Amino acid sequence: MEGKYCIITYGCQMNESDSERLAGQLEELGYHSVAEPDGADVIIINTCAIRETAEQKVYGKIGELKHLKQEKPDVLIGITGCMAQKNKKALFERAPHLDFVLGPYNIHHLKELVRAGSKRSAHVLKTEMRGANIEDFTDLKAARKSDVFAWVPIMQGCNKFCSYCIVPYVRGREWSRPLRSIVREVEELAAAGYKEITLLGQNVNAYGLDFGDGTNFADVLRAVEEVPGILRMRYMTSHPRDMTREMIDTIAACSKVVTQMHLPVQHGSDAVLQGMNRGYTIAHYRNLADYIRKQIPAVVLTTDLIVGFPGETEEMHRETLALLQDIRYDMAYTFIFSPRSGTPAARMTDKVSAEDASRRLQELMQVQNAISLERNRDMVGQVHEVIVEGPTKNKPENWFGRTSGNKMIIFPYADGMRIGDVLGVRADAAQTWLLRGTPVEEKRS
Ligand code: SF4
């Protein structure tokens, strides 16, 4: 078969990884990728359902594709990702020009669909939540965007049911990929010269719980640590409820595991954490953070925060501000609560006004940005190992890379510099979100 495909990806790293596995199937069929849907024979929108706005954006994009189907009836247009799982056949009712809807656990059916062509595939819906085995889709060949950095999904789904989150309803229960399958993929990546892998899961710390045999996330870290050739191992996303001392000790002991640890706290008040059904207290979280800092002194701790959650008072908000001052994160991703239909929090009544929510967000960012800048200033004058990622968007004469702590450092391009090079870069200046520096050491390539 010959043809062109275009995959439009919204949302998280898991969707990025799924899109690479969709692309891999099409390339095995002889298709090649194009950046724009015009002229493509297969068009896939890999969707995100994390917020109401995300869905509206996708419906807008689906609408734009209608004329392509009218002009070229044989073009195949499909929806995958979390909106596919959430909305199922309603997508066909809203957009009859779609050919197929595949849920996250059914992306491995793409090849047979494409082989069958548009006639056979009119309105094919595949959203079964539990197929034969997870390897059906995790072990698909991936057409990766990078040949230095790679996503490696280790599990799917989440059992936590945070009251504001749609993920458990669209990604199902925690479902771990067999360790041998993960190690096999990492070995293939190492043999292909990949330097950095990111272990992916909605909650990686819950890895193996569904096996019921004591296997856990630390086993994945230890197994990947043994694979020669991989330089760095990142992992996301962690959950304070399932992060154990054994995992922290293993992270400390493994030389390839990065110093960045993203540990979403979401809020500084126990009352709000209860409303969110996060399943831990701030005392528990503080103990965890203290142990992490003791075991991994160079840790770069980052987090997620939500303001304006129903029932949040001024006093509770100040508890979050106090937590930031104490924990001193290197970076925090901050969001205003947005009700997600289908989640318990969307039915909560005690709403925070938009005015209060945005003022509180400003206060959070002000406190956190000052801390982020101080922490970056502490790095000035030191040499940091970075893996070169390429030219910056605005100034191609400036290239950038990231430290083990996932800090971006911008430095001037030098002749012979290549993406994937590992350099020692001395940090010369700090900003809130990045550093500027000078390459001083050719580490290894
Ligand atoms: S841990 Fe909570 S926020 Fe994260 S994916 Fe699971 S339910 Fe959603």
For residue 39, pLDDT over 70 is answered with yes
For residue 127, pLDDT over 90 is answered with yes
Tokens of 120: 């056979």
Q: How confident is the model at residue 131 (pLDDT cuts 50, 70, 90)?
A: low
CA distance 373 to 351: 33
Tokens of 209: 């719980």
CA distance 74 to 67: 12
For residue 117, pLDDT over 80 is answered with no
Under 8 Å between Cβ of 195 and 387:
yes
Angle of helix 13-28 relative to helix 110-120, nearest 10 degrees? Answer: 70
Mean pLDDT rounded to a whole number for the chain: 95
For residue 200, pLDDT over 80 is answered with yes
Among 202, 263, 280, 304, which is best to mutate for testing ligand 1, by the most ligand atoms less than 8 A from CB? 202
CA distance 331 to 64: 37
Q: How confident is the model at residue 52 (pLDDT cuts 50, 70, 90)?
A: confident
Angle of helix 179-191 relative to helix 217-225, nearest 10 degrees? Answer: 30
Tokens of 31: 């298709």
Under 8 Å between Cβ of 368 and 329:
yes
Over range 29-57, report the average pLDDT.
93
Distance 402 CA to ligand 1 centre (A): 27
For residue 404, pLDDT over 60 is answered with yes
Residue list, ligand 1 pocket, CB within 6 Å: 158, 160-162, 165, 167-168, 202-203, 239
Tokens of 348: 């909560």
In the chain, what percentage of residues exceed pLDDT 90? 91
Q: What SS3 state is found at 438?
A: strand
Tokens of 415: 């002749």
For residue 281, pLDDT over 60 is answered with yes
Closest C-alpha residue for ligand 1 atom 1: 160
Distance 278 CA to ligand 1 centre (A): 8
Query: In the chain, what is the straight-line distance between the N-terminal and C-terminal CA atoms, in Å?
Result: 38
Distance 162 CA to ligand 1 centre (A): 6
For residue 121, pLDDT over 70 is answered with no
Over range 157-185, report the average pLDDT.
96
The pLDDT tens digits for 327-376 are 999 999 999 999 999 999 999 999 999 999 999 999 999 999 999 999 99
Closest C-alpha residue for ligand 1 atom 8: 165
Q: Which helix (H) or strand (E) holds 423?
A: strand 422-430
The type of residue at 149 is F
Say what the pLDDT of residue 50 is: 86
Tokens of 403: 């430290």
Q: How confident is the model at residue 2 (pLDDT cuts 50, 70, 90)?
A: confident
User: How far, in Å, are 145, 377, 390, 432, 440 from residue 429 at the CA level?
Assistant: 31, 7, 20, 10, 15
The pLDDT tens digits for 286-313 are 999 999 999 999 999 999 999 999 999 9
Distance 107 CA to ligand 1 centre (A): 22
Give the lowest-confidence range in 109-123, 197-211, 242-256.
109-123
Tokens of 65: 């594709």
CA distance 418 to 230: 18
In the chain, what percentage of residues exceed pLDDT 70? 98
Among 82, 160, 173, which is best to mutate for testing ligand 1, by the most ligand atoms less than 8 A from CB? 160
Give the lowest-confidence range in 47-61, 180-194, 275-289, 385-399.
47-61
- 3-state SS record for 149-202: EEEEECEECCCCCCCCCCHHHHHCCCEECCHHHHHHHHHHHHHCCCCEEEEECC
